Structure 1
């Protein structure tokens, strides 16, 4: 399934203990109601509290013979309006939303004026930024690096190395947009990289990558501006 959601009122993607509302938890609860069986879904990425998605991907297994189109319609009829299943298809049994993914793409939307409407879906920075300078800093991120300095602790106990294939800033109407693609991401990594390219030099970013030591004073960007944009697969079926 491909999922679009407004993450403002959710405690992130991943199911959690307690009464907190998560995107995964909401979808699983509705699937159980429809299919009358316990269903566990796996997402391609785990977005943080307040982060949105235009193209989150998730997979699950079920013993039900319900046709995919009918199931998709039933899900959207019962899910909160802040979560929409954009498509739902049958896939081969060895397909896995997380492990079959070849790439993830995120976008960060940054506005430079106050807004009552866009505050739910963008970060805010009134400072003036030179696009060439931003892209010069972002180019440092390309390739395989250890991003430990740009992630929250506990992100991954196995490895903190990621391969970035795209990192660029561009203007889209009134927004400055940061787009980044990689084979994998660490917890809050994109939000730290947004702040780093806005506020620190390419040399400081390069040193942090090599030393694995956080840049002093670096804070993650507002989650409201971040979107999980697209998941790349060789084949979904």
Structure 2
């Protein structure tokens, strides 16, 4: 039977979600824990990748195993085995053909920026001391929704077949002591959000303007875009699936 697991993690000590040699990953920890608990090899397929140091407030993966009778108890017991920086939120049965990655309709990320030194945000947000023009950054963010090809924001030498992404929302807002960038799309390229934020921050500091952002996208050249901001400020906040999988609309 196929199950979806919803979980969250603080990414500081992990080299991202996906398994890789000689590096600790979230997938590795979960698969080892699940395999020990269910007493059989368990392979997890995630909703997507996150880079080293990136956090996830909501992430999903699917796996196959025998029928689970008391799901609430299983979630409780699995959480007892997991380290403090990974937490299971829910576990539910899905159709056999359901796929955590390919069935996802939309993914949303947030990037957190703080404007002054704060020890409580040292591992959670990116510090930008220079003055920022949030109106200019929002004008530049709106440009993203006029395009589909984002090769300029993609990490070099990736194995993707297309650079097309449908960005549905992209905006900055001030939330108490944080400046938060929210972006939603059907898919994202590797390193894309961090490169987008770096480019928008250059607009916010006055180094470039909205016209330059258009030139960057049209160039399809990663060297034209701004620097990638640190991973510690990036959060995967939600993944949406069809109602047939989650049992709820969106």
Q: Distance in 2 between matches of 1:45 and 1:161?
A: 16
The question of whether the paired residues in 2 share the 8 Å contact of 1:114 and 1:124 is answered with yes
Deviation sequence 1:44-73 (CA, Å, 0-9, x none): 121100000001111111125343222211
Assess if the C-alpha contact under 8 Å between 1:106 and 1:181 holds in 2: yes
Partner of 2:24: helix, strand, or coil? coil
Find the residue that maps to 2:21 and give its secondary structure: coil
Q: Spell out the pairing of 1:99-110 with structure 2 (5 A cutoff).
A: 99-110=102-113
Q: Shift of the alpha carbon at 1:215?
A: 4.5
Q: What RMSD over aligned residues (CA atoms) do the two structures have, in Å?
A: 1.4
1 CA distance for matches of 2:152 and 2:48?
Answer: 20
Corresponding position: 1:128 with 2:131: yes
Q: Which residue of 1 aligns with 2:29?
A: 26
The reply to whether residue 198 of structure 1 matches residue 206 of structure 2 is no
Distance in 1 (alpha carbons) for counterparts of 2:127 and 2:28: 30
| Aligned: 1:165 with 2:173 | no
Q: TM-score scaled by structure 2? A: 0.90
Asked if residue 223 in structure 1 is aligned to residue 231 in structure 2, the reply is yes
Q: What is the Cα deviation at residue 157 of structure 1?
A: 2.9
* Residue 94 of structure 1: aligned partner: 97
Deviations 1:98-132 (A, max 9, x none): 01100000000000111222111111101111221
Q: Report the secondary structure of 1:32's partner residue.
A: helix
Does residue 147 (structure 1) correspond to residue 150 (structure 2)? The answer is yes
Partner of 1:6 in structure 2?
A: 10
**Structure 1 residues 184 and 217 mapped into 2: Cα distance closer, same or farther (>3 Å)?**
closer
**Alignment partners' CA distance in 2, 1:104 and 1:191:** 15
Match of 1:214 in 2: 222
Q: Using the alignment, how far apart are the partners of 2:209 and 2:241 within structure 1?
A: 34
Q: Give me the TM-score of the superposition, normalised by structure 1.
A: 0.95
Gaps of 5+ in 2: 203-207
Q: How many residues align?
A: 236
1:44 and 2:52 are equivalent in the alignment: no
